[in-house]
Amino acid sequence: MEQLPQLPFLLITVAIASAIAIYAAAASDGREKFLCADCRFNNDEDCLKAERPRAIACTSYRAADALAAIARTSNGVTE
């Protein structure tokens, strides 16, 4: 019974941690976004995965602008 005075502190700590976690999830840049949205394979010919267009994890993901960035750097253009 000696631990009872610590209970309010524990509840307040849990409430604050939960509020921070909920805020972070709601404000995250990745909220409601899928990898396929900016993947260069996001079309019927290049990707046959069942996850498309709502993949949240994919080992085949390649950024759509990656080729353009490589082409720019190989042409001597730097950002």
To which H or E segment does residue 33 belong?
none
Cα-flanking dihedrals φ and ψ of residue 52, to 5°? Answer: -65, 135
In the numeric block, the tokens 């409430």 are attached to 15
CB closer to ligand SF4, 29 vs 45? 45
In the complex with ligand SF4, the residue whose CB is nearer, 41 or 75, is: 41
User: Which residue number, 15 or 53, has a Cβ lying nearer to ligand SF4?
Assistant: 53
Q: Which residues bind ligand SF4 (CB under 6 A)?
A: 35-36, 39, 41-42, 47, 49, 51-52, 55, 58, 60-61
Our measurement of the distance from residue 67's CA atom to the centroid of its chain's CA atoms, rounded to an integer in Å, reads: 22
Distance between CA atoms of residues 20 and 77, nearest Å: 43
Residue 54: CB minimum distance to ligand SF4, A = 8
